[in-house]
Amino acid sequence: MNFHVMTLFPEMIMQGLSSSILGRALERGLISLNAVNIRDYTLDKHKRVDDYPYGGGAGMVMSVDPVVRCYRAIFSEITRKGGQKEKKVRVIYLTPQGKTFTQEMAKELAEEEDLIFLCGHYEGIDERAIEMVVTEQISIGDYVLTGGELPVMVMIDAISRLVPGVLNNGNSAEFETFHDHLLEYPQYTRPEVYEGREVPEILLSGHHAKIEEWRRKQSILRTKEARPDLLGRAVQEGCLNKREMTFWRELEQGWE
């Protein structure tokens, strides 16, 4: 998986993604990260990449030409390397105006060979740049950040961990939060007792089936508490087995 990021702050992207699991994935060549400075593509003699908005108003707008030229340079590099030739490479613009990013979107994007991201700054980007290069607009949530750099790092992290080999544990991406629309169950490690707080006895029993049942129940309880909307989907889509459905019905009737 090759990530290409058009940004005014390439060092922020490189630094933000070069540690821990993603740093290792980069070293192992499972993913690659190409943060390209949009400023390198301005023809302005003062290296300006923004201008005043037509029609007036506060703030500055990112100019169309550096963005389009930056995109074309990245695209020809991808095709030169023999990447996605026929198929258009998806170009994602990070903006609060976009569709909200979800785990399903991360899964789908993880199938691509190359992805290009466009990070905005200032008050926005000239609409023609969006029309000319962007294929989809994505938001990471209903709040406004100062630029697209943090959102793109969030997306790259979520997508990368779904790329085969990035997580050492072969199945850990499968059995976690949002699997079956349920939140994750509580985890414990040594010591068995900490300042009087004990690890639930069932986890020390060695009884795998019972432990699994307990964990699923914990997941259901947590999801009901924090994300009843998700639990509704789990029920509707038949993600709970017969026993779990009984448990859910009891919860709904307040028999906890």
Contact 129, 17 (CB under 8 A): no
- Minimal distance, residue 126 CB to ligand ADE, in Å: 16
Nearer to ligand ADE, 83 or 96 (CB): 96
Interaction between residue 124 and ligand ADE (CB under 6 A) = no
For ligand ADE, the binding residue among 80, 143, 168, 201 (CB under 6 A) is 143
For ligand ADE, the binding residue among 30, 105, 145, 211 (CB under 6 A) is 145
Going from the C-alpha of 56 to that of each of 52, 120, 174, the distances in angstroms are: 7, 19, 50
For ligand ADE, the binding residue among 59, 141, 186, 232 (CB under 6 A) is 141
Interaction between residue 2 and ligand ADE (CB under 6 A) = no
DSSP code string of 48-86: --EEPPTT--SS-EE-HHHHHHHHHHHHHHHHHTT-S-S
Interaction between residue 7 and ligand ADE (CB under 6 A) = no
- Piece of the chain touching ligand ADE by CB under 6 A; list 16-24, 71-79, 145-153, 198-206: 145-153
Interaction between residue 140 and ligand ADE (CB under 6 A) = yes
Per the listing, tokens 């707008």 go with 61
State yes or no: cis peptide before 191, omega within 30 of 0.
yes
Rounded to an integer, what distance in angstroms lies between the CA atom of residue 109 and that of residue 65? 27
| Chain residues in the site for ligand ADE (CB under 6 A) | 94-96, 139-141, 143-145, 148, 151
